[in-house]
Structure 1
Amino acid sequence: MGAAVTIGSFGPGAQIPLQGGDAQTAATHALASAAYRDSPVETILEANNEWHKSTVKEGKWKKLFRPDLGEAFSRAVQVRMLGGARKPLIQSFGADPQPVVEHCLAATGIRKQRDVKLTLVTFFFGVLFLPGLLLWLGVIQLRRTAAGSENKRTSAVGTALLVAAGLFAFLVLLKLPFDGLLPTYLRAMIVAPVAGWFLARRICERTAQDLRERWTALLSGGGLGAAVPEAVPKDPTEKTAEELRVNLEKLSAEQQSNVVFYAGPKGILGMGTRWGSWTLAEELVPRDGKEIHDFRAWDVVRQIHTELTLLERGALKTGFPKPTVKHWIVSPVGEGADEVARPEGENIVHFQVKPHEIQRICNDQQFGSGNRHYLGVQFTLWDGQLVLTMMVTVTSLHHTLRVEVTGHALGPVHGLFTTKPKAKTKEVSKTVRFWETREISLPLTDTDDVVRQAVRAPLTWLPPVLDFLGGKLVLPEPFGLRHAWAGQPWRHRFMADDAIRAATPVLRAVHAATIRVLDEHNVDTERFSARSLVLGGGVQEPGPKKADIYDA
């Protein structure tokens, strides 16, 4: 398992986390923006796709202690991706998970600073005047319950209840005698929670503005890197900071792993479902008067690798962007598996299968149980919103050489993550021209949200208690940041065109390299060339299919 790797294996010394590459910024920033959002946590359920579905676990007192989307997302991602006993992760192709986690840490830090201030306000204006605080909380809870009713009359009663409570408190203040400690305390008991609410509202409003500015900056392309000072230990004795730094390094190392998982109809986890397949399989026959020189699958794969690295070169000035060509070890898992197990042993270093083991798997593990070798060429397009992967596998059974090319496509991050914050406004009638309306700006935090944040603040340092009381976000498994909320590219015209167009040149490059190797080893390539021409003609008009679903 990946979690079994020792901490020391990731190198000593403090390292400042870096942002991802330019080719992946859009998807990375879109996912990171979720850490700063203040919308209801249930909105993330809109981003569920066909195979991966998040859920929201409700708490015991969810109306009073419920988290918003940013709070729940940050908490869930940190625990899942940095936890000491976490399960292995699926690579996030087209995105860099480390900056996303860093933004979650940064957003949590901003909220903790807010919660420190709110805790002090709650103590001095609430706990010291606890009877009054409980009285006001009871009234607000009754109002919230009534306001949530579909019955308009009941909702109006809730609002009237709050107004009546205010009038009652005002009358009590007037009728109480002015001498003595008890009347003074009773007056303070009524007034202090209200004064604390006004102060808490200013704190919440400033924090909400800060979070929204960061949210907007990320989606505008000008977002700054997340500041996570606690991930850079200043002293060897800072065990918490050192552990966080190592966990971030471990996350980056797992992202670079060359092991992926094939989950049946779900396709390769992280790369998307298989939408097309083209097979070149013919008998190995020697040329007239010649004898076939012995060769193995790795000899063919090596030549294909060289040919694929030259895809960006061409007679035309325009063409492919530089592809990523990589050897993959593919491990099979069940369609409904809720976790994966990364291989371990002497042939694994930092989640990477060693080159000599890759070559052995390519040559020997072509039939029966065990992992398989694939050669992948990957294009990250649309700033990480589209990931196209063409996988090549070469097998030789008896006298038959089989070269199979399959296409996988991972679509854009769900539109929920790319929406910018909208100002909260309300349409009201004009004072004089009452038949006309105008929009007025509303505070970012309303009364209920101020109360919610103030009540949650003292429990910030007890996250499991908050999860129990308010609920939490449950991430889909096996979890990977990118594929968990990815859509299909086929709904976007140009993305679909890019996926389909990539198949033809890749297929022809693979076939050209294969035939070249066969020629060098005295194999009669007439049948291979004929079959290649047939596939080359058919691939000119490919259509996306569910190639992993068989009608059997």
Structure 2
Amino acid sequence: MGAAVAAGDPYDFSPGAQVPVSGGAGATAATQALASAAYRDGPVDELLKANSDWATSEVKKARISLFEPNLGEAFARAVQGRMLGGGRKPIIQSFGLEPQVIVEHCLAASRIRKQRDARLTFIMVVFGLLFLPGVLLWLGAFQLRRTLAGSQDRRVGALGTALLVGIAVVVAILLVKLPFSGFLYLYVRAMVIAPLVGGFWAKIVCERTAKDLRERWTGLLDGGTVAAKIPEAVPSTPGESAAEQLRLNLAKLSAEQRSNIAFYAGPKGILGMGTRWGSWQLAEDLVPAEPGKDINPFRSWDIVRAVHDQLKLLERTPINTGGLTPPQVEHWVVSPIGEGAGAVSRPGGTDASFQIRGSQLQEICDKQHFGSGDRHYLGVQFVLWDGQLVITLLVNVTVLHKTLRIEVTGHALGPTHSLFNGRPKNRTQTFKKGLKFWDTYTRTLPVVEPREVVRLAARAPLTWYPPLLEYWGGKLVLPEPFGLRHAWADKPWRHRFMADDALRAATPVLRVVHEATLRVLADNGVDTTRFASRAGNLSGAIQDPTPRQADVYNA
């Protein structure tokens, strides 16, 4: 049984102590692509290539390059710290993704690496602490080579390799005949040889873990059910507060993902939905249908509710040939923030459920049409291409004086960056065949290079205190305001079929919105002649297939 939870805790959604296992039903291509980053190797700087127009991540450089993380280590550490850390700031919804699945894979990848680091730490204690001078000598040589090899000058990099070989040769010569004898003679020989023995053992450990991580990496991209088991999130005794807190944080993450509060960041658009590529406005005066009679009083909410009901039926078609996928229709409350804002804050009174509902939602819809404050939008969203394309069309209803304005805006968020679809590559080396020098053969090398073994072994003792490791080795700094989806998303316009889907979805949505609006106006005694004429013009204009930068106002 889990630890006791305070009554009314809004995040206690799970039925009890269970082992969280992600993967399987509900997982999407976009989710699995991002989750695979937790198991990857390679330089962390590669992740900077995936920065989008909405967010830019950074890499804090290492003070000692031997301690720097690789891509998977930095990604898993940064994501789980940002999404689950104590006192974390609000996050941006990740449409088309399951953030909890990605975070669980980050936790699972970190757990695998911790098990590897525990073995490497033991090796470092046995073969390193007892023979510390020799270990420092070898680490210093590898650090020097790493520093020189990182130079852009190839000759300097070659010099680093030659220097390492030279040190090994000098050490071997000294071992043949030392100028002293006795215990010191034996210790010096062991001091140089023991780290090599430990390195061989460490290589076996690193190779086994690397293969496991790569299998999970490949399995996710292949669409397999790669499970991310997190036993540390399961309270086994009532006193395990850390496990209970982790379980609640995962539930809180899922609750925040379901929030209906979004943030508009100027030219960057609504965060998580992508920039606004199109805008169509129907604005006319409210005139009675019969002269001398007043129109029946109605509210913006009445129109919104009618449009909501009609949008639910978008998937229906009069002929049996294709059609739209079932839409996700949601009432959104959009808060304005600055283009360069470093954080967002949820409106007051929503910390428990992360949602605004009921009378408060209706009040925003009916009254907040002009001036400061949040705005209400009715959104219809299509998640396509296994989560790689998110099409969102928002409907806003405002009344100023006698003018009713129905605005429909189109937003599109494209696929995750191609970096996350890359598969592991084996290290190979090509050789010439002896006398047949014109012929060659290729040999597959071990997954882990010797310098990578040294890096992992050097980092292992420090992994037990991550702040110190990040101080010396650097870390990945995630963009703020942070959301897993928009941080590494491309625009859909480079993919012909995705662009077509985004452009085609706007037409039926706009016509359904206008149809529902005209019906409500007619039922309440409003002359719909001008509204119908304007709607017809917009229906023709929306067939223009060119996406625009609707969030950029050129002076």
Establish whether TM, by shorter chain, passes 0.5.
yes
Q: Is contact 1:22-1:383 (8 Å) kept?
A: no
Indicate how the Cα distance of structure 1 residues 263 and 7 shifts in structure 2: closer, same or farther if over 3 A, else same: farther
Distance in 1 (CA, whole Å) between partners of 2:464 and 2:53 is 36
State the distance in 2 between where 1:175 and 1:380 align: 72
For residue 489 of structure 1, what is the aligned residue in structure 2? 492
**What is the CA deviation profile of residues 66-85 of structure 1, one whole-angstrom value per residue up to 9, with x for unaligned ones?**
10000001111111111111
Give the CA RMSD over aligned residues: 1.9
Equivalent pair of 1:261/1:330 in contact (CA under 8 Å)? yes
Q: Secondary structure at the match of 1:125?
A: helix
Superposed counterparts of 1:122-161, under 5 Å:
122-161=124-163
Whether the aligned pair in 1 keeps the contact of 2:22 and 2:226 (CA below 8 Å) is no
Most deviating of 126-135 and 38-47: 126-135
- Match in the other structure for 1:324: 328
After the TM superposition, which residues 70-89 of structure 1 pair with which residues of structure 2 at under 5 Å, given as runs? 70-89=72-91
Q: 1:56: how far off? A: 0.5
- Alpha-carbon distance change, 20 to 129 in structure 1, aligned in 2, over 3 angstroms: closer
Counterpart for residue 193 of structure 2: 191
Match of 1:344 among 348, 358, 378: 348
Q: Secondary structure at the match of 2:438?
A: coil
Query: Structure 2: how far apart are the matches of 1:414 and 1:37?
Result: 15
Cα displacement string for residues 151-203 of structure 1 (whole angstroms, at most 9, x for unaligned residues): 55544443333333333333333324997322222221111000001111111
Structure 2 gaps of 5+ residues are: 1-5
Deviates more, 1:433-442 or 1:509-518: 433-442
Separation in structure 1 between the aligned mates of residue 429 and residue 8 of structure 2, nearest angstrom: 53
In structure 1, C-alpha distance between the alignment counterparts of 2:203 and 2:299, rounded to whole Å: 71
1:315-366: per-residue Cα shift (whole Å, max 9, x none)? 1331000000000011111111010011122x66411112221111101111
Say whether the 8 Å CA contact 2:22–2:104 is kept in structure 1: no
Q: Which residue in 2 is equivalent to 1:476?
A: 479
Which residue number in structure 2 is paired with residue 333 of structure 1?
Answer: 337
What does the per-residue CA deviation read over 1:130-166, in whole Å, with 9 as the maximum and x for residues that have no partner? 1111122222223333434455554444333333333
Paired with 1:262 and 1:277, the residues of 2 have a C-alpha distance of 15
Give the aligned partner of residue 30 of structure 1: 33
Deviations 1:345-392 (A, max 9, x none): 2x6641111222111110111111111100000000000000000000
Is the partner of 1:277 in helix, strand or coil? strand
Question: SS at 1:67's partner residue?
Answer: coil
- Decide which of 265, 277, 280 is 1:278's aligned counterpart: 280
Question: Which amino acid in the other structure matches residue 8 of structure 1?
Answer: D
Whether 1:383 and 2:386 are equivalent positions in the alignment is: yes
Partner of 1:65: 67
Aligned AA (2:318): A
- Number of residue equivalences: 546
Counterpart-to-counterpart distance in 1, 2:398 and 2:23: 36
Q: Which one-letter code corresponds to 1:324 in the other structure? A: Q
Per-residue CA deviations over 1:427-471 (Å, capped at 9, x if unaligned) read: 222223112222211111111111110000001111111111011
Q: Please, which of 423, 438, 453 is the counterpart of residue 450 of structure 1? A: 453
Q: Secondary structure at the match of 2:115?
A: helix
SS of equivalent to 1:434: strand
Contact 2:392 2:410 (C-alpha < 8 Å) held by counterparts:
yes
Residues 91 and 480 of structure 1 are in contact (CA less than 8 Å); yes or no, is this contact kept in structure 2? yes
Determine the structure 1 residue equivalent to 2:370: 367
Aligned 8 A contact 1:133 1:189 in 2: yes
Residue by residue, what CA displacement relative to the aligned partner does 1:114-142 show, whole Å, maximum 9, x if unpaired? 00000011111111001111122222223
Q: CA deviation at 1:423?
A: 1.1
More moved, 267-276 vs 127-136: 127-136
Structure 1: tracts of 5 or more residues without a match: none
Whether contact under 8 Å (1:115, 1:458) holds in the other structure is yes
Where 1:460 maps in the other structure, the secondary structure is helix
2:315 is aligned with 1:312:
yes
Percent identity of the aligned residues? 61
Instruction: Verify the 8 A CA contact 1:55 1:473 in the aligned structure 2.
Output: yes
Quote how far apart the aligned CAs of 1:401 are. 1.0
